[in-house]
Structure 1
Amino acid sequence: MQPLPRITVEVPVLAVGSAPSDYEALGSYVSALRRPQGLHLTLLHIGILADFAQDVADWTKGITPAGDAARHTTGWLQGLPVLDGFTGTSEQLIVLGGGGISGLGVDVPRRVQDYQVSLVQGLHDLLDRLLVDNVDDFILSSPALGYRYPHWVPHVAVGRPLARERRPRAIAPLTVAFGPSRIRNGRFLTATD
């Protein structure tokens, strides 16, 4: 049985550096360098929709049924405006996920930061409509959302750190080109009424 897909709002990476060798050079800093075709920058993580909807139902003690939460969340996601493609820069590798993931720390344009803030505000509004109280507490404790920190760090996961080094590691500056925003695994969202 296939695992259920995670739903995220993300932007795909179109290019790292000016040639494929720029990305391949990161292999000297990380193990199991990810294929460049699947690289992306996550703007908002929802997780498995059914799990998120159940988290809402549990938090509201059934006042908002999981089916309603899933339907409203799907409608909200499908109605999000698209962020146009952009270019960012990276000058360091950062360690994420409790030390298991190495990522390019990316400096992004202000409009990207503003868009990400609008996504979080939209999530707050959605949760208010779903009758979730203490929205910030819910966001930080929902297993589906999986947030450990309230602050967004723009990054592109590229592999595993070679060593258990936790500090950022300087690299030669790279330009990172991103495409327009999309809903990852959006085809698994059910249409709303």
Structure 2
Amino acid sequence: MTASRPISSKADKPRVTVEVPVLRVGAGVSDYEGLNRFVDSLRKPQGLHMTLLHVGILDELAADIVAWTKGLATPGKVLPEISSWLTELPVLQGFLGKSDKLVPLGGGRLMGLEVDVPQEVHDYQALLVQGLHVLFDDLGLDNIDDFILGSPALGYRSPRWLPHIAVGKARSRHEPPVEIAPVALEFGDSRIRHREALVGGDS
């Protein structure tokens, strides 16, 4: 489904996600900067976030849906429906979490904090996935679980959600999980990353 898409287009188009920003790691900046000894190119703390749902590049998700439905769903219908669904999602209020482990992510290219979060966060993430099922059913998709795991745009590798914060590059592709001193984490309200990509459902 992705072979005909120009590779260069991905650099120009934003990936849409539902996420929560990280407001604080540990007691201060020094606690976060201490992770430097485990990773390369530690990310700036101002941009840290935890993804609750990866939606991807909307044009590519629409193309996956059109292909899955053999053209019964059209981009002109799909894009506004996805945009409307996202903008109507309830907001998850900010919460506290903690982490005591760094784990490899993205096939070993990144390292991230594995996060313990309150049950309401797991419930909200499950609500997002259930809502995605309803959306796709309304768009005429069948075998929706298979579509979610198989869509290149959505990019799922596992049906199980692992709460995590990507913090930097792994030193090698074979980095093992690392136990660290426990750090407290504070998260803000949920938001749509690249919300501007939804305006009008434009392709």
**What TM-score results when the alignment is normalised by the length of structure 2?**
0.92
Once the two structures are superposed, what CA deviation does each residue of 1:124-143 show, in whole Å capped at 9, x if it has no partner? 11000010110011001111
Check the 8 A contact 1:9/1:44 in 2, yes or no. Answer: yes
Distance 2:97 2:174 in 1: 25
How far the C-alpha of 1:164 sits from its partner, in A, is 3.8
| Structure 2 CA distance for aligned equivalents of residues 56 and 187 of structure 1 | 21
Asked whether the 8 Å contact 1:34–1:158 carries over to 2, the reply is yes
- Identity, in percent, stands at 55
- Give the letter for the 2:178 counterpart: R
Which of 69, 77, 86 is matched with 1:68 structurally?
Answer: 77
Residue type of the alignment partner of 1:182: R
Q: Tell me the SS of whatever aligns to 1:30.
A: coil
1:175 aligns with 2:184: yes
Matching of residues 19-38 of structure 1 within 5 Å: 19-38=28-47
> How do residues 36-75 of structure 1 correspond to structure 2 at under 5 angstroms?
36-75=45-84
Using the TM superposition, give the Cα deviation of residue 54 of structure 1 relative to its aligned residue in structure 2, in angstroms: 1.1
Structural RMSD (CA): 1.2
Q: Which runs of 4+ in 1 moved over 2 A?
A: 162-167
Aligned residue for 1:116, secondary structure, equals helix
Three-state SS of the structure 1 residue aligned to 2:63 is helix
SS in 1 for 2:83: helix
| Residue equivalent to 1:109 | 118
- Contact 1:75 1:191 survives alignment (8 Å): no
Instruction: Tell whether the 8 Å contact from 1:104 to 1:157 is kept in structure 2 after alignment.
Output: yes
Matched residues in 2 for 1:185 and 1:163: separation?
Answer: 30
Distance in 2, matches of 1:163 and 1:151, equals 25
Unaligned runs of 5+ in 1: none
TM-score norm. by structure 1 comes to 0.96
